[in-house]
């Protein structure tokens, strides 16, 4: 498939860059660097190989790769194949990964050998940077022509936390992705030759926002390893060494970077954009000081859900003196509308609080295998039945200047350190243990860097050693859930506080000065 002939919506700009600048660096990591021509050739090999192994357009294909050039190549290759990418984070417990594969119908996985060995039982495409393959299937036939996907086809499925204990597979279409990529490229101040860090985990939709606009702009995607990603000082060093211009990070990482930014200058750290989403941005003194030292860099606040990716954006003023403490989430992106609504989906007057409804091109086609949950959240626009809508569950209002203000969640779905978590999923897993009478998980801490998960447990019978009991439960959680979903503290209580209406008083629990009896994991 030549670059000129491609019709995959989100890849058209990338194909044009392959045609115009084939020998410009496209992707690099500490181990290798490839240009646009090599990216295109290797992604074509991925598409051909999965087709040889029986994957047709619409087939769900797992992606189980360490951070690498291979990861970027595979994401592009699966888009070209018309298959549905199902990112399988190498840090997730095998039990969770197997559930995701079973739910999505994944039989074929593209991955590195080490992570694949933990799973077993799948047909695999193993790549080591030279697109070397080993298949555990019958001998593959010759490659066949692969029809380009249409806008209505599904591009990827990512899994989010589910309130019933069942992770939800969120489907995102090619036309949704194309709208996002086109808008991001237009809205960004970065362009040809600029370098974007690939920071997001593979299982998060943000990776597509990092990769595709950068390649479509003629820039370079720079892959970081886990050590650099988790250590603010190492991350600053990487930004300087690799001359990074654009960074997509959760707000808690911005706060952490600000603590190590005393020597940052435009000459040493040529950042022009830091984009964040997932949590309320707080313009602290340290963050203001960092951007004062980087006058050419702009902070961009984005808001949306996994079901819609980015729905609104707000570029903070160039002059830090003009920042407010809690900046707006701004205005809708191209092709999308966001309204503050009453429970029926009708807009409320400006200034009044309501639920944020997202309509238009950002709205994906719904959850996988969850028709009732899809029907509750995915609607049609009450003002135009031909337009899809999504009930975000977030509260907001329109400010006097016409911008949107985010006011938090309606339910127990929370954001902690940039990760979206259904507290009910953690509680459901704990409650399945026969020794647990009740389990309530809350978020403690007010500032973003202090937010953490705590669990309060009512045992069915008093354990002989409460510390050992809770430690065992948290160990079991680590075998079932990603690290960011494991509470950092657990406490045994005789009973749970209640509100006047009889509900568990989560605010009272979150405010308690908890003395830990066991410690869990953190992301």
Question: Which CATH number does the domain housing residue 504 bear?
Answer: 3.30.300.30
Q: Among 411, 441, 473, identify where a domain stops.
A: 411
143 and 9 belong to one structural domain = yes
202: in domain: no
Residues 100 and 62: their CA atoms lie apart, in Å, by 9
End residue of a domain, out of 158, 175, 192 = 175
Q: Return the pLDDT at 349.
A: 96
Q: Are both 437 and 377 inside the same structural domain?
A: no
For residue 519, tell me if it sits in a domain.
Answer: no
Strand residues in 101-179 grouped as ranges (E): 108-111, 123-126, 154-160, 168-173
387 and 271, same structural domain?
yes
154 and 265 fall within a common domain: no
Write the pLDDT tens digit of every residue in 299-341.
999 999 999 999 999 999 999 999 998 899 999 999 999 999 9
For the whole model, what pTM was predicted?
0.84
- Tell me the C-alpha to C-alpha distance, in Å, between residue 7 and each of 12, 14, 79, 110, 182: 6, 11, 11, 23, 14
Q: Are residues 339 and 485 in the same domain?
A: no
**DSSP per-residue letters across 300-362:** EEEEEETTTEEEEEEEPPSSGGG--SS---BEEPTTEEEEEE-TTSPBPPTTS-EEEEEEETT
The lowest-confidence range among 112-116, 374-378, 406-410, 440-444 is 406-410
432 and 507 assigned to the same domain: yes
pLDDT in tens, 161-198: 766 668 899 999 999 999 999 999 999 999 999 999 99
Residue 220: strand pairing partners:
195
220 vs 73: CA distance, rounded Å: 13
Are 133 and 276 contained in the same domain?
Answer: no
The reply to whether 257 and 405 lie within a common domain is yes
For 441-452, the pLDDT digits (tens) are 998 877 666 788
- Do the beta carbons of residue 378 and residue 384 sit within 8 Å? no
With H, G, I as helix, E, B as strand and everything else as coil, classify residue 109: strand
One domain, residues 403 and 418 = no
Q: Is residue 500 part of a domain?
A: yes
More confident residue, 350 or 423: 350
pLDDT digits (tens, 9 = 90+) for 28-58: 999 899 999 999 999 999 999 999 999 999 9
- One domain, residues 98 and 155: yes
Q: Are 231 and 375 in the same domain?
A: yes
Beta strands in 209-291 (DSSP E): 220-223, 246-248, 273-276
Backbone φ and ψ of 360, nearest 5°: 100, -150
Is residue 193 a part of any domain in this protein? no
pLDDT value, residue 448 = 67
Q: Which of 175, 209, 236 is the last residue of a domain?
A: 175
User: Do 401 and 418 share a domain, yes or no?
Assistant: no
Q: Does position 518 have pLDDT exceeding 80, yes or no?
A: no
The secondary element (H helix, E strand) that includes residue 60 is strand 60-64
- Please name the residue that has the structure tokens 């507290």: 423
Give the range of the structural domain holding residue 464, as residue numbers without chain letter: 413-511
Q: What is the pLDDT of residues 53-107, one digit of tens each?
A: 999 999 999 999 999 999 999 999 999 999 999 999 998 999 999 999 999 999 9
Q: Could you give the 3-state DSSP secondary structure of residue 416?
A: strand
Flag whether 101 is in a domain.
Answer: yes
> How many domains does the structure of the chain reveal?
3
Backbone angles phi, psi at 3, to 5 degrees: -55, -35
């Amino acid at each position: 498939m030549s670059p000129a002939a491609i019709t995959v919506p989100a890849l058209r700009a990338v194909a044009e860059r392959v045609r115009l600048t084939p020998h410009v660096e496209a992707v690099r990591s500490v181990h290798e660097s490839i240009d646009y021509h090599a990216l295109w050739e290797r992604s074509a090999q991925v598409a051909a190989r999965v087709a040889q192994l029986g994957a047709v357009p619409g087939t769900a294909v797992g992606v189980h790769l360490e951070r690498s050039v291979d990861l970027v190549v595979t994401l592009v290759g699966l888009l070209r194949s018309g298959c549905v990418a199902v990112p399988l984070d190498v840090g997730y417990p095998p039990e969770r990964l197997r559930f995701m594969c079973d739910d999505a119908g994944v039989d074929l996985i593209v991955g590195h050998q080490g992570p694949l060995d933990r799973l077993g039982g799948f047909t695999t495409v193993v790549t080591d940077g030279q697109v070397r393959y080993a298949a555990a299937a019958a001998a593959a036939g010759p490659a066949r022509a692969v029809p380009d996907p249409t806008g209505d086809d599904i591009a990827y499925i990512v899994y989010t936390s589910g309130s019933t204990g069942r992770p939800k597979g969120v489907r995102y279409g090619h036309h949704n992705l194309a709208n996002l990529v086109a808008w991001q490229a237009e809205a960004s101040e970065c362009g040809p030759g600029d370098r974007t860090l690939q920071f997001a985990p593979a299982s998060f939709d943000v990776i597509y926002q990092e990769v595709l606009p950068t390649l479509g702009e003629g820039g370079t995607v720079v892959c970081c390893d886990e050590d650099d990603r988790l250590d603010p000082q190492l991350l600053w060093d990487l930004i300087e060494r690799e001359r990074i211009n654009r960074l997509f990070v959760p707000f808690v990482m911005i706060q952490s970077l600000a603590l190590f930014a005393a020597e940052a200058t435009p000459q040493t750290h040529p950042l022009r954009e830091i984009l964040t989403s997932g949590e309320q941005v707080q313009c602290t003194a340290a963050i203001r000081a960092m951007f004062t030292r980087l006058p050419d860099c702009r902070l961009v606040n984005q808001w949306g859900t996994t079901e819609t990716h980015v729905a609104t954006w707000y570029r903070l003023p160039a002059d830090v003196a003009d920042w407010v403490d809690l900046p707006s989430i701004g205005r809708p992106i191209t092709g999308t509308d966001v309204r503050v609504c009453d429970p029926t989906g009708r807009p409320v007057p400006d200034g009044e609080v309501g639920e944020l409804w997202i309509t238009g091109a950002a709205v994906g086609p719904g959850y996988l295998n969850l028709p009732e949950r899809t029907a509750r959240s995915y609607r049609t626009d009450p003002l135009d039945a031909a337009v899809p809508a999504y009930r975000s569950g977030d509260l907001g209002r329109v400010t006097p200047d016409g911008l949107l203000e985010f006011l938090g969640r309606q339910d127990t779905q929370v954001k902690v350190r940039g990760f979206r978590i259904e507290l009910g999923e953690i509680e459901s897993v704990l409650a399945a243990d026969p020794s647990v009478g009740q389990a309530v998980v809350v978020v403690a801490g007010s500032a973003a860097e202090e937010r953490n998960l705590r669990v309060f447990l009512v045992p069915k019978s008093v354990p002989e050693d409460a510390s050992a009991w809770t430690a065992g439960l948290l160990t079991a959680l680590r075998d079932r859930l990603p690290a960011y979903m494991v509470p950092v503290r657990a406490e045994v209580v005789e009973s749970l506080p209640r509100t006047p209406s009889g509900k568990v008083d989560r605010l009272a629990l979150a405010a308690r000065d908890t003395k830990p009896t066991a410690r869990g994991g953190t992301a």
